[in-house]
Structure 1
Amino acid sequence: MNYLSMIFFQIVAPILVLLVVGGILQKKFNFNLKALSYLINYCFMPAAVFVNIYETTIQLEVLGRVALFIIIFIGSQMFISHFISKILGLTSTESAVFKNSVVLINSGNYGIPVAQMVFAMQPIGVAIQVILVIFQNITTYTYGLYNLISTTKSGKEIFKDFLKLPILYALILGIILNVFNLPIPDSFRIPIDYIAEGFVAVALITLGAQLSQIEIRTMLNKTIIVSCITRLLVGPSIALLVIYILGLDGVIAQSLLIASSFPTSRNSSSLALEYDIDSNIAAQTVLFSTVMSCLTVTFVIYLSTVLFGA
């Protein structure tokens, strides 16, 4: 019960508060959501990803095993989501949003606080979660973007759209500066930090504004329900199987199992809004999976403690 209350009040409740703030502001001021989407994807998000990668210290002794797990796990989620979308007979746009909702996980503003809470005395657990954030960022802006762009474009057009994204250059620059341990002048670092710190709030307020324009009755859409079941229940089940196959144990296994249970990333909604691909369904999926994760993540944390805890 302690885990449930801590996760809800420290993680889920603040997210819901920002969503409500966004909804209220949208009703009063009627924001241009497309403009907000551009602001997020071309300013706030690149800054946040750059700072995250630049500041990350990856422990090489666990990187290999964690990377192997992540590759297998993400690959399995791609395969399963593609298979289910075929069974459901989804259109190309519905399929793109559905697959992103399953594969793209909220490892950042949801996952890291959970890891910090669970592994307060075991820093390696948090470090593993940071590694997962990096892999998720890469997956989001490769696989996730391709899913959406390919519904309306193909070939060279897709490649050109990739090259226009500042997030790609933020990733590359962050890795280079991190690897070579190059300092950033305060004149640049301070404003970058200001922007990065505002990312979560602006993204969630925008999502709340987007959700405020949706009719609640559409929350029972089959795509949303199946997506949440796949993300929150099937995902951790597959992760547990991969953990046993790879022979992982202890904090590493515990951290990876918990990380597999997090809800759909808000980035899946931001990108859907950016490219105008079933953005309403994407936004509802983020909201529904985040709320339901209050229960499912709590159970997975308990299960991980029983199976792999000291």
Structure 2
Amino acid sequence: MTYLSMIFFQIVAPILVLLVIGAALQRKFQFNLKAMSHLITYCFMPVTVLLNIYETTIEMSVLGQVAIFILLLIGSQMLLSHFIAKILGLNRMESAVFKNSVVLINSGNYGIPVAQMIFATQPIGVAIQVILVIFQNITTYTYGLYNLISATKSGIEILKDFIKMPILHALLLGVILNVLNFDIPQTIRIPLDHISDGFVAVALITLGAQLSQIEIKTMLNKTILISCFTRLIVGPSVALLIIYILGLDGVVAQSLLIASSFPTSRNSSSLALEYDIESNTAAQTVLFSTIVSCLTVTFVIYLSTMLFG
């Protein structure tokens, strides 16, 4: 078995299996996806973020490098998607969905599980992915909402939604406990570990259940194909260029390159549905990019290992 195929079968294929299980269970039982999403958002993900930050020591210089990288990557994706939308001649609503599909990355219930599998013995790799999730959430509730803004929400309401995000509170608490070197009592730590251990399975099964409701028949159109190419191929290529420009290497460079390769965030679909703007196209883009990412993410993981492992 080649190293590339080993990465696929040991890291990417298990994710695909969990997505298929989620899709099959949803077809049979019709879960309340909103309730499952709340369970992840308000329980599994915050606890996972809390423990990863709590257990990891990141030098301020590394944190600064990661922040600069993320800002450069997100900024370049914003500019690139804007110009491509112009070239494609998309109308205002199509352009908004296209730009969100390129810029908003599934860093949460796809990215963190992948990072946990790859960097099981290197917590900093997972911690970097957690930081990316925070930046992606900020981008979603600023840039993403700006693209789809309507009269139903003001800037103040968007800010309030962001401040109430559990993952932000978990990040801050994790940093405080880490800095104070606080020893979490076993009575609390044991259930937290159980919740964190279940995050990967619950998050990916839920994602599979969500994707199972998307129609495939109109998925292969020009806009979706170009969106996925930009997200899955151009995105990691730009990220690699930024990594070399910043002079990053080791686990930091490997983690950032892998983080740039994840598919379109389901939040881009959720926002489009909430504001009733090209919601079918947004959902189909999420599904198609998630399917294709099984191949592209495998290659990027392999490339990152060869270059920085």
TM class by smaller structure? 0.7 to 0.9
Supply the distance in 1 between the matched residues of 2:283 and 2:220 (Cα, whole angstroms). 13
Residue matched to 1:17: 17
Retained in 1: the 8 A contact 2:85–2:99? yes
How many residues align structurally?
A: 300
The reply on whether 1:77 has 2:65 as its aligned counterpart is no
Retained in 2: the 8 A contact 1:149–1:275? no
The reply on whether 1:136 has 2:132 as its aligned counterpart is yes
Retained in 2: the 8 A contact 1:268–1:282? no
Supply the distance in 2 between the matched residues of 1:93 and 1:197 (Cα, whole angstroms). 39
1:103 Cα deviation from its structure 2 partner: 4.1
Q: Map of 1:40-79 to 2, 5 A cutoff?
A: 40-60=40-60, 62-79=62-79
Q: Map of 1:93-242 to 2, 5 A cutoff?
A: 95=96, 98-99=99-100, 101-106=102-107, 107-114=111-118, 127=124, 129-150=125-146, 151-152=149-150, 153-242=153-242
Residue matched to 2:262: 263
**Distance change (3 Å), C-alpha of 1:110 and 1:266:** farther
Q: For 2:183, what is the secondary structure of its paired residue?
A: coil
* Partner deviation per Cα, 1:119-151 (whole Å, 9 max, x = no partner): x8xx6xx73x33431321211221113345443
Retained in 2: the 8 A contact 1:12–1:290? no
Supply the distance in 1 between the matched residues of 2:180 and 2:65 (Cα, whole angstroms). 24
Supply the distance in 2 between the matched residues of 1:104 and 1:45 (Cα, whole angstroms). 16
Supply the distance in 2 between the matched residues of 1:138 and 1:148 (Cα, whole angstroms). 14
Supply the distance in 2 between the matched residues of 1:18 and 1:114 (Cα, whole angstroms). 17
Retained in 1: the 8 A contact 2:261–2:297? yes
Retained in 2: the 8 A contact 1:11–1:113? yes
TM-score of the pair, normalised by structure 1: 0.79
Residue segments in structure 1 that go unaligned for 5+ positions in a row: none
The reply on whether 1:246 has 2:258 as its aligned counterpart is no
Retained in 1: the 8 A contact 2:19–2:205? yes
Supply the distance in 2 between the matched residues of 1:259 and 1:137 (Cα, whole angstroms). 13
Q: For 1:264, what is the secondary structure of its paired residue?
A: coil
**Distance change (3 Å), C-alpha of 1:247 and 1:43:** closer
1:76 Cα deviation from its structure 2 partner: 1.6
Q: For 1:216, what is the secondary structure of its paired residue?
A: coil
Q: For 2:214, what is the secondary structure of its paired residue?
A: coil
Supply the distance in 1 between the matched residues of 2:185 and 2:25 (Cα, whole angstroms). 36
Retained in 2: the 8 A contact 1:232–1:262? yes
**Distance change (3 Å), C-alpha of 1:215 and 1:100:** closer
Paired letter, 1:262: S
* Partner deviation per Cα, 1:192-213 (whole Å, 9 max, x = no partner): 2222222222222122222222
Supply the distance in 1 between the matched residues of 2:174 and 2:86 (Cα, whole angstroms). 38
Retained in 2: the 8 A contact 1:251–1:309? yes
Supply the distance in 1 between the matched residues of 2:233 and 2:304 (Cα, whole angstroms). 14
- The range that moved more, 253-262 or 74-83, is 253-262
Paired letter, 1:74: I
**Distance change (3 Å), C-alpha of 1:266 and 1:241:** closer
Q: For 2:217, what is the secondary structure of its paired residue?
A: helix
RMSD: 3.4
- The range that moved more, 258-267 or 232-241, is 258-267
- The range that moved more, 98-107 or 5-14, is 98-107
Retained in 2: the 8 A contact 1:37–1:270? no
Retained in 1: the 8 A contact 2:233–2:261? no
Supply the distance in 2 between the matched residues of 1:193 and 1:143 (Cα, whole angstroms). 29
**Distance change (3 Å), C-alpha of 1:148 and 1:188:** farther
Residue segments in structure 2 that go unaligned for 5+ positions in a row: none
Supply the distance in 2 between the matched residues of 1:201 and 1:274 (Cα, whole angstroms). 26
Paired letter, 2:113: N
Retained in 2: the 8 A contact 1:105–1:264? yes
Retained in 1: the 8 A contact 2:101–2:265? no
Supply the distance in 1 between the matched residues of 2:72 and 2:194 (Cα, whole angstroms). 36
1:60 Cα deviation from its structure 2 partner: 4.8
